[in-house]
Structure 1
């Protein structure tokens, strides 16, 4: 079987390989190129490694700084435009659970409006550290991103996830969270920690730039909640799967998920106290019963 590990799999990957070759042929480091185009070295690295969707304007600026020529510049810009019309699988780009959190944080820091739909677990931006630890620990044996013997992997990932939550304090940004009631019912961690997570949701729901809406379990849904997803400024969608994240800025994809979010939102209620109270009481009763023995 031929070795295809170095063959670009799509426009973003092909673009990254081409830019890297041109840069190296010019004898430039990523840091030097970054200075020439007034971008960070990290951004140049993300573009070359297809970790971020390339902005066509940025690519044209980079290509001209590299003196790539008109034909090559047009081709590179075309690749950048094509990359926005397809789903990008980040599976090969996420080496660790912590790196996943850091990459998502970079996206979140670049947007003004975030919409998040969850069908199974509490959104990462709303998780307590113990809830996050339980979620991330459960992923490790399935995704095998980490060495099971690596004792610092989960704490590092939890720390990175909690760090993402700093963005919630920026009142210039708005956050809309919609979740099914099953999110509250799914026992991701011990009852006392689930109770703490529910209290955290109530606390955050009072923040003026955050709205949290819940779809009651008895609701007749017009659209099945197939999976969770995030919308960034209604320009980018990230679909959350068990072992990867899929990102798209394709207009058709974004429109579809905007409609999906609005549909789920129409089924949800902002009057969440009664639902939170119900599940909080259940977890507290369970916690008391456990300590009684």
Structure 2
């Protein structure tokens, strides 16, 4: 199913109205429907008024309870899938301020315990040196110093051993020169240092590995309940279990191609030496 970003918010209102109309046409009260599908009356009310975006499993339960035929049910499930997708445009993020975005990311990092980052183009902020962070957002409006400080504060989450992190980087991402060569050498050496934390795994997919598919987007999977995909113009937030499962499968594919531990340490150390030697 394809959609434009502006459809996402509208789809939530459409889904709420459609489910409410289906219930009324079936001659059921909110209480009766709640009993039939195993949800609370307050949950049904929040779904029908648009105060809650229902999970796919909740929509399936409601449709079964209402006896909706397979054809219309599939169309409604497609709408529900779009409603569970969120578009966050870059322009809107800039209007709200980059500091706000850092607060949102910190909340995501606080709420999950298992993190998977696929990084085909650049090093992510959690792994970055101050100089790399500053260069990466130098083109952005606002208080750059404040955003840099907030990004560096977020790195403390890496030292929380109740959480586990796996970062997959392509060789391209490691070698992409965001800062001058000596600063890049320091950045690559930081990757080696962080990979030695007990709860952090850093894998590298070297150039020359036959992948069979291109690494199209940076993405992050938080636990098994949320995935974000980065594009030039914004980010898409997925909450549909099928979308998350697909991203986990893609991550596992590249993870199987990556080198880790002593092999990745040796690789990264060689890249750092290349930067120091101007290669």
TM above 0.5: yes
- Match runs of 1:205-220 below 5 Å: 205-220=195-210
Please say if 1:87 is aligned against 2:88.
no
Corresponding position of 2:99: 98
2:277 to 260, 285, 288: 285
Q: 1:265 corresponds to which residue?
A: 255
1:53-83, Cα deviation, whole Å (9 max, x unpaired): xxxxxxx99x95xxxxx86335147633347
Change (3 A) 1:13 1:124: farther
- Structure 2: which 5+ runs fail to align? 1-5, 17-38, 56-79
| Alignment pair present for 1:72 and 2:45 | yes
Q: Provide closer, same or farther for how the CA distance between residues 12 and 208 of structure 1 changes in structure 2, counting only shifts above 3 A.
A: farther
The DSSP-based 3-state class of the residue aligned with 1:187 is: coil
CA distance in 1, matches of 2:92, 2:238: 15
* CA shift in 2, pair 1:274/1:248, >3 Å: same
Q: CA separation in 1, counterparts of 2:198 and 2:101?
A: 28
State the distance in 2 between where 1:189 and 1:13 align.
47
1:137 aligned partner:
138
Aligned to 2:156: 166
CA contact (8 A) 1:115 1:230 kept: yes
**CA distances 1:146-177 after superposition (whole Å, capped 9, x unpaired):** 2xxx5xx2112111211111111110100001
Deviations, residues 241-286 of structure 1 (Å, cap 9, x unaligned): 1231211110111111011000010110002122212211111112
Q: For the structure 1 residues 136 and 78, does the alpha-carbon distance in structure 2 shift closer, same or farther, using more than 3 Å as the test?
A: closer
| TM-score normalised by the chain length of structure 2 | 0.71
Q: Is the 8 A contact 1:88 1:248 kept in 2?
A: yes
Total equivalences in the alignment: 221
> Quick check: 1:196 aligned with 2:186?
yes
Deviations 1:19-38 (A, max 9, x none): xxxxxxxxxxxxxxxxxxxx
> Is the alpha carbon distance of 1:191 and 1:71 closer, same or farther for their aligned partners in structure 2, counting shifts above 3 Å?
closer
| Within-5 A mapping of 1:12-161 | 72-75=45-48, 76=50, 79-81=53-55, 82=80, 86-91=84-89, 93-94=92-93, 95-138=96-139, 140=140, 146=141, 150=142, 153-161=143-151
- How far apart in 2 are the matches of 1:244 and 1:134? 19
Contact 2:168-2:258 within 8 A present in 1 as well: yes
Q: Which residue number corresponds to residue 67 of structure 1?
A: none
Q: Kindly tell me: are residues 245 and 100 of structure 1, through their superposed partners in 2, closer, same or farther at Cα, counting changes over 3 Å?
A: same
Q: Distance in 1 between matches of 2:127 and 2:227?
A: 19
Quick check: 1:12–1:83 contact (8 Å CA) kept in 2? no
Q: Tell me how large the CA RMSD over aligned residues is.
A: 2.8
Q: CA deviation at 1:206?
A: 0.4
Deviation at 1:98?
2.3
Question: Hey, what's the Cα distance between the residues in 2 that align with 1:108 and 1:175?
Answer: 11
Match runs of 1:227-246 below 5 Å: 227-246=217-236
- For 2:15 and 2:125, locate their aligned partners in 1 and report how far apart those are by CA, in whole Å: 32
TM-score (norm 1): 0.68
| Mapped partners of 1:218, 1:80: distance in 2 | 44
* CA 1:102–1:71: 2 relative to 1, 3 Å: closer
Partner SS state of residue 116, structure 1:
strand
CA contact (8 A) 2:189 2:269 kept: no
